[in-house]
């Protein structure tokens, strides 16, 4: 295996250090919503410094092509970032993540093919820097090949995740069944074997391409069997992959900025993956092995029949009365609110209630929605002050003092079976204790089970009433009825 | 940098990253993810290095220009979308007091104005009811 090793001039190294200092300082601003905008901008300045430092490396050529790449990327990225709806953020993040992984794989490939045929080590002196072609330290080859494999997995996995979230691909798990695990294992071993061969000095571009393709198939196979409800974990995991692969590229290219920036992303993805998995009470291997549950369109016929209790449905007028005369209301938003784009009417309803002296809070489950923090962003978009958004552990003790819990398009995160039914697939998952409140109104399109495909006992609770309808329509109706009171 | 120095940077950066990101509250996890999209856009610099110093041949150039474009999408798109999102999280001190203020304001302007019938949607409704 051969690769390019660049020794950077001192001033470039210094600029890189400034860059990652700014990055880390900026990122630490994200710990507080009030300082976050500034933090993000400081991190961006760090990014700019790193870019400038790279461009002033002596003997950089191909300026036209560099400009072309930047122009194309800007032409695609700016409109995408401007136009994306907040409800579509999970898809956007998945897509951006994949693009990063793709860049990593491409760099490794070009790095390999540029000099794959030139045997033996030689050094070209270009003023301040030395460019080594030919035999490079083994570690460089290992990291370059590793980056290629992880980058390719991340690119294809993220694209599948995008397809599922955008509903181009069905959200339900698609798998080879029992054969899936052995097939994935074989693919993994194949990719590693090809990588080892390349590191050992095989000069075959076909082998390299083969390795990328095997990793690509693996990326597809890992994400396809994962159900919609597990998406928050998958997105976070792929995020970690892309970060780590970028850091590996940094090791291969001997570039400290790439290493530090990549590791920040790797750390972030790892933390979020763990948080999400914990919030679902599922292990990461179990999720990768393919989840329970269906997608958006699970046949709902099995609904009420077998269940002993009956479901009580209500009208918008009755719901309005119930809410208006409550003293404390907790809104529990879920994916249904995102799908219906109902965040603005939900906020409007909350404001109307507050004007009537009702205390309104929002209960946010960590895995509500399709990515970490999804609900928070939607409600922030609708101008809900973030101190009204309560995390699970803070709000759970308050349900006992709550008159009405208004569940809008959330399902599994409220299911008491997670606490009461050891045989349930979601048993042990921490839930929002909605059933503790004095009464519950559930806004839901139909009796279809949620993404986990599990019956929700909450709906059969005598204090629960169901308001069937699209979240936006139903909430608007309640607002209308509230005006009549 | 030699291997061991690079490895030291890698390991330390991992720990620093873990320490910093652990403190990010749940509320900001979505912007954090789109923010990390920006950050791994640093890969763009790797692509520029390879393109600027070594890429030969048409096919290599095509591939690496795509990599530069991909990286740029991350940097530019990721930053803009994160900035957009974080702006929404800013506590709106002025609009917040404005939320308190409008009902009487709207009501009085309605009173002064000729036609309160089709008053502004949400603020007008309860105001009129009262």
A258 vs B46, B53, B85: nearest CB:
B46
Q: What is the pTM of this model?
A: 0.84
Q: Which of A376, A296, A297, A278 is nearest to A333 (CA)?
A: A376
Q: How many CB pairs under 8 A join A and B?
A: 387
| Residue A115's pLDDT band (cuts 50, 70, 90) | low
Element spanning A478, H or E: helix A471-484
What angle in degrees, to the nearest 10, is found between the helix axes of A36-55 and A256-279?
150
Is A130 marked active-site?
no
**For the ranges A101-110, A256-265, A336-345, A443-452, which has the lowest average pLDDT?**
A443-452
Distance, CA of B70 to CA of B58 (rounded, Å): 18
pLDDT digits (tens, 9 = 90+) for A124-160: 444 444 444 456 678 888 999 999 999 999 999 999 9
What are the strands, taking DSSP E only, across A135-249? none
Distance, CA of A132 to CA of A28 (rounded, Å): 37
What backbone torsions phi and psi does residue A440 show, to the nearest 5 degrees?
Answer: -130, 135
Cβ neighbours around A122 below 10 Å, total: 11
Mean local confidence (pLDDT), A390-404: 94
ipTM: 0.87
Which residue's entry shows tokens 């690769």? A3
> In the prediction, which pLDDT does B13 show?
96
What angle in degrees, to the nearest 10, is found between the helix axes of A89-115 and A138-165?
150
pLDDT digits (tens, 9 = 90+) for A7-48: 788 999 999 999 999 999 999 999 988 899 999 999 999 999
Q: Which residue, among B11, B23, B30, would best test binding to A if mutated, counting the most A CBs under 10 Å from its CB?
A: B30
Q: Which of A479, A353, A469 is nearest to A408 (CA)?
A: A469
Mean local confidence (pLDDT), A304-313: 64
Asked if B69 lies within 8 A of A76 by C-beta distance, the reply is: yes
Residues A111, A352, A412, A461: which is the catalytic one?
A412
B87 vs A37, A109, A253: nearest CB:
A37
Q: Which of A191, A276, A290 is nearest to A240 (CA)?
A: A276
**For the ranges A206-210, A344-348, B13-17, B125-129, which has the lowest average pLDDT?**
B125-129
**Distance (Å) from the C-alpha of residue B112 to the closest C-alpha of chain A?**
22
Chain B residue numbers touching A89 (CB-CB < 8 A): 30, 34, 81, 85
């Amino acid at each position: 295996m051969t690769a390019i090793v660049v020794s950077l001039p001192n001033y470039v190294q210094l600029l890189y250090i400034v860059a990652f200092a700014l990055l880390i300082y900026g990122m630490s601003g994200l710990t507080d919503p009030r300082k976050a905008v500034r933090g993000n901008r400081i991190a961006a300045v760090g990014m700019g410094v790193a870019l400038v430092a790279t461009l002033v490396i002596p003997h950089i050529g191909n300026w036209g092509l560099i400009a072309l790449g930047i122009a194309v990327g800007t032409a695609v990225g700016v409109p995408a970032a401007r136009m994306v709806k907040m409800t579509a953020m999970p898809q956007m993040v998945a897509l951006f993540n994949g693009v990063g992984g793709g860049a990593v794989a491409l760099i490794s490939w070009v790095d390999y093919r540029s000099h794959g045929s030139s045997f033996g080590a030689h050094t070209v002196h270009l003023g301040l820097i030395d460019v080594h072609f030919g035999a490079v330290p083994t570690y460089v080859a290992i990291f370059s090949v590793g980056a290629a494999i992880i980058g390719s997995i991340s690119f294809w996995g993220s694209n599948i995740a995008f397809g599922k979230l955008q509903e181009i691909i069905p959200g339900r798990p698609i798998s080879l069944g029992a054969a899936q695990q052995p097939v994935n294992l074989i693919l993994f071993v194949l990719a590693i074997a090809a990588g080892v061969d390349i590191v050992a000095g095989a000069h075959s571009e076909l082998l390299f391409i083969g390795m990328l393709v095997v990793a690509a198939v693996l990326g597809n196979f890992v994400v396809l069997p994962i159900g919609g409800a597990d998406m928050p974990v998958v997105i976070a995991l792929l995020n970690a992959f892309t970060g780590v692969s970028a850091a590996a590229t940094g090791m291969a290219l001997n570039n400290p900025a790439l290493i530090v920036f990549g590791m920040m992303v790797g750390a972030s993805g790892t933390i979020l993956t763990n948080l999400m998995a914990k919030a679902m009470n599922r292990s990461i291997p179990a999720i990768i092995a393919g989840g329970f549950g269906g997608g958006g369109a699970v046949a709902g016929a099995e609904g009420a029949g077998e269940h002993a209790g009956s479901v009580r449905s209500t009208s918008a007028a009755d719901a309005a009365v119930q809410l208006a005369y409550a003293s404390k209301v907790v809104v529990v938003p879920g994916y249904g609110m995102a799908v219906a784009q109902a965040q603005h009417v939900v906020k409007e309803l909350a404001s109307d209630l507050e004007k009537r002296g009702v205390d309104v809070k929002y209960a946010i489950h960590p895995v509500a929605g399709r990515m970490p923090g999804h609900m928070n962003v939607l409600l922030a978009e609708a101008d809900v002050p973030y101190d009204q958004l309560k995390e699970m552990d803070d709000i759970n003790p308050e349900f006992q003092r709550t008159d009405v819990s208004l569940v809008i398009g959330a399902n599994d995160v409220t299911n008491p079976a997670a606490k009461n039914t050891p045989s349930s697939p979601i048993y042990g998952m921490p839930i929002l204790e909605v059933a503790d409140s004095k009464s519950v109104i559930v806004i839901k399109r139909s009796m279809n089970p949620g993404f986990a495909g599990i019956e929700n006992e909450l709906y059969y609770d005598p204090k629960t009433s169901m308001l069937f309808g699209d979240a936006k329509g139903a909430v608007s109706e309640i607002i209308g009825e509230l005006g009549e009171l | 940098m030699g291997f061991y120095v690079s490895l030291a940077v890698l390991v330390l950066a991992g720990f620093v990253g873990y320490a910093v990101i652990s403190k990010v509250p749940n509320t900001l996890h979505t912007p954090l993810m789109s923010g990390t999209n920006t950050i791994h856009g640093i890969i763009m610099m790797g692509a520029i290095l390879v393109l600027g110093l070594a890429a030969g041949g048409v096919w290599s150039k095509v591939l690496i220009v795509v990599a530069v474009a991909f990286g740029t999408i991350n940097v530019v798109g990721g930053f803009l979308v994160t900035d957009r999102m974080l702006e929404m999280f800013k506590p709106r001190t002025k609009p917040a007091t404005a939320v308190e203020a409008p009902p009487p304001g709207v009501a009085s302007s309605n009173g002064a104005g000729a036609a309160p019938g089709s008053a502004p949607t949400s603020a007008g409704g309860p105001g009129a009811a009262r």
